Amino acid sequence: MTTTQADTQSDDLNALAKGGRTNILGFFIRLAGRMPFLFIAGRVYGAEITGRFALAVLVVELAALIATLGLKRGLAQALSHTGRPHSHVVADALVVALFASVCASALLFVFPEVIYPNSQPTQLERLLPVIVFALAWSDVAFSALAYRHNVGAQVTARAIVEPWTISIAAMAFSYITIQEGLILSYVAATLAMLAAAMVPLIRMYGVPVGWKPHPVELAQLAQRNAPLAGADAIEWASRNIDRFILGLLFPPAFVGIYYMAQQVATLAQKFKTTFDPILGPVVTRSLAAGDKLSVAKQVRQVAFWIIAVQAAVAIALGVTSDGVMGLVGPSFVAGSGALCILLAAEVLAATGSVSESALVYVARHRNLMISVFTLGLQVALSFAFVLLLRDMGWPEAYQAVGPALALAVSLTIGSVLKGVLLSRMLGASTSGLRLGLFAAIVACAGTGVAISKLPEWAQLTIGIPLMLAAYFLVLLKTAFGDEDKALFRKMPRDQDPVVNEIP
C-alpha cells in the first residue's frame, strides 16, 4: 500500500469516526428530545388521536422521500463527478426536489383521503401536504452538508431543533385544539428543521452566483437517481408499511400504540441513518479511485459501530419494555411486545442497511430487486401472521404484533442477501460481527435478568445504566481495536476531516 493510499484511508477513517462521535452524541440528545413528545402525545392526546396523526405523517413523509428522487445519497456522487461549482449542483438538486414536491403535494391535495383514510379532515388538516417540500429540501441540504463532512448540522436539526420544537408545540397546541394539535406541531417542527438545515448550507456553499436552471440537465439528474429513489422509498416503506397495514386491519387506537413502540425502536435505527450522509461521500471517493477493499473495510467498520450501539439499546429497552411504554401511558403497555420485536429487527437489519450504502453505487438495480423482494415478503407475512392469529382466536392485542414479526423476518432475510451480494462485488467480507460483540450481549442480558425483579422505576433509572455499563465495558475489552478507538480520539483542528473550502 502506498503512503498516499494509507493517508487516504486514515482520512476516511477519521471522517467516519468524527461522524460516529457526532452521531452517538446526537442519538442521546435525540432520545432526550423525543421522549417528551411521546409522553405528551400519549398522555394528553391519547392513542386514537396519535394513531390518526401517525397515519397522516406516514403518507406525507413517503411523498417527501419520493420527492428527493434519490438525492439523499445520489447528491454525493453528483458532487464527486462534476467540474461545475458545487453550489450550482446543489441548486439543481433543490430545484428538482421542489418540482417533485409540488407534484406530490398537488396529488395529496386532490386526494386527502390518502392521508386520512378513516376520518374526514378539517380545513387546517387538508393543508398538511404543503410541508412536503420542507422535508425534501431538508434531506437534500443535509446530504450536501455531509459531503463536506458537516454532520453536526444534521444532528443539531434532527436531534435538538425538530424534537424539542414538536414537543413544545404539541403541549402548546393541546390548549387550543386536541384534534389538530399534533398535526400543527409537526408542521412547526418541520419548518424549524428546514431553517436549521438551510442556514448552514448557505454558509458552507454560498449563494449560487451565475446559476441558471437547465431543464435538460435537471431531467438527467432526476433520471440518474431514479434507482436510488426507488431504493430509498422501499427501505422507508419496509420500516413504515407495517403501520399502514395496521391501519387497514385495526382501529386507530392500535395504530397509536404501535406507533409509540415504533418511535422508541427507531431511535436505534436513526443512529444508522445519520451515518448515511457521511458514509456515502467516503464510499464514492474510494470507488472513484477503484479501491474496493477500502470500501469493504469502511462498511465493516461502520456496520460494527452501528450493530454495537443498536444491540445495547435493544437489550436495555427490551428488558424494561413495560416500564418504557408505561411512561407514555398505561394504555400503551400493550405495545411492549411489539417494541421488543422491533428492537430486535433493527439489530438484524443493520448489516444489510449499511451494505446498501455501497450497493446503491456498485449494484443499484440488483439492490433494488432485493429490496422489492424483501418488501413484498414483509407485506405477505404481515397479512399472513395477523390472519393466522385471528383464526386461532388470539386477542387483537396479540394479532397486532403480526406486522412487527413480519418486519423482523423479512429484514433479516434481506440483510443476509445484501451482505452476501456486496461481499461478492467487493471481493472481501463486509460483516460487522465480532466475537466480542456476543460477549457484550451476554453481559448486558445477564445484567438485565438480575435487575428484572426490581420495581419498574428502578429498572428505568438504575437498571438501564447498569446494563449499558456492563455491555460497553465488555465490548471495549473484547471487541474494540485501534481503529475503533478513533471514535474517542480528538483530532487537532488542522487534521479534522471536515472540509470547508469550496472547490
Q: Is the pLDDT of residue 21 over 80?
A: no
Query: What is the tens place of the pLDDT at every residue in 73-103?
Result: 677 777 777 778 888 888 888 988 899 899 9
The predicted pLDDT at position 227 comes to 67
Q: Which of 194, 226, 205, 193 is nearest to 89 (CA)?
A: 205
How far is 306 from 41, CA to CA, in rounded Å? 29
DSSP labels for 65-95?
A: HHHTTTHHHHHHHHHHT--S-HHHHHHHHHH
Could you tell me what percent of the chain has a pLDDT over 90? 33
Q: Is the pLDDT of residue 270 over 70?
A: no
Confidence of residue 155 (pLDDT cuts 50, 70, 90): confident
Confidence of residue 264 (pLDDT cuts 50, 70, 90): confident
Q: Are 54 and 255 in contact (CB under 8 A)?
A: yes
The residue written with cell numbers 440518474 in the block is 224
The predicted pLDDT at position 136 comes to 93
Q: Is the pLDDT of residue 408 over 80?
A: yes
Q: Are 486 and 353 in contact (CB under 8 A)?
A: no
Average model confidence (pLDDT) for the chain? 83
Q: Which of 273, 44, 316 is nearest to 146 (CA)?
A: 273
Lowest pLDDT segment from 272-276, 339-343, 467-471:
272-276
Q: Which residues of 242-261 are buried (b: 16+ CB within 10 A; e: fewer)?
A: bbbbbbebbebbbbbbbbbb
Single-letter residue type at 431: S
Q: Are 9 and 297 in contact (CB under 8 A)?
A: yes
The predicted pLDDT at position 497 comes to 41
How far is 60 from 108, CA to CA, in rounded Å? 8
pTM for this one? 0.78
Q: How many CB atoms lie within 10 A of CB 372?
A: 13
Handedness of CA 166, 103, 364, 219 (dihedral sign): negative
The predicted pLDDT at position 284 comes to 78
For residues 480 and 110, which has the higher predicted lDDT (pLDDT)? 110
> Where is 443: in which H helix or E strand?
helix 435-451
The predicted pLDDT at position 218 comes to 64
Q: Are 16 and 147 in contact (CB under 8 A)?
A: no
How far is 335 from 345, CA to CA, in rounded Å? 15
Q: Is the pLDDT of residue 123 over 50?
A: yes
Query: What is the tens place of the pLDDT at every residue in 178-220?
Result: 989 999 999 999 999 999 999 999 999 888 888 887 666 667 7
For residues 224 and 445, which has the higher predicted lDDT (pLDDT)? 445
The predicted pLDDT at position 201 comes to 93
Query: What is the tens place of the pLDDT at every residue in 274-308?
Result: 666 667 777 877 887 788 888 888 888 888 888 88
Q: Is the pLDDT of residue 387 over 90?
A: yes
How far is 208 from 388, CA to CA, in rounded Å? 58
Q: Which of 252, 249, 259, 255 is nearest to 383 (CA)?
A: 249
The predicted pLDDT at position 40 comes to 93
Q: Is the pLDDT of residue 64 over 70?
A: yes
How is the chain split into domains, by residue range?
Answer: 3-433
Q: Are 307 and 22 in contact (CB under 8 A)?
A: no
Q: Are 51 and 256 in contact (CB under 8 A)?
A: yes
Q: What are phi and psi of 70, to 5 degrees?
A: 75, 5
The predicted pLDDT at position 232 comes to 72
Q: Under 8 Å CB-to-CB from 429, ≥6 apart: which residues?
A: 296, 300, 423
The predicted pLDDT at position 174 comes to 94
The predicted pLDDT at position 182 comes to 94
Q: Is the pLDDT of residue 9 over 90?
A: no
Q: Which of 204, 147, 144, 78 is nearest to 500 (CA)?
A: 204
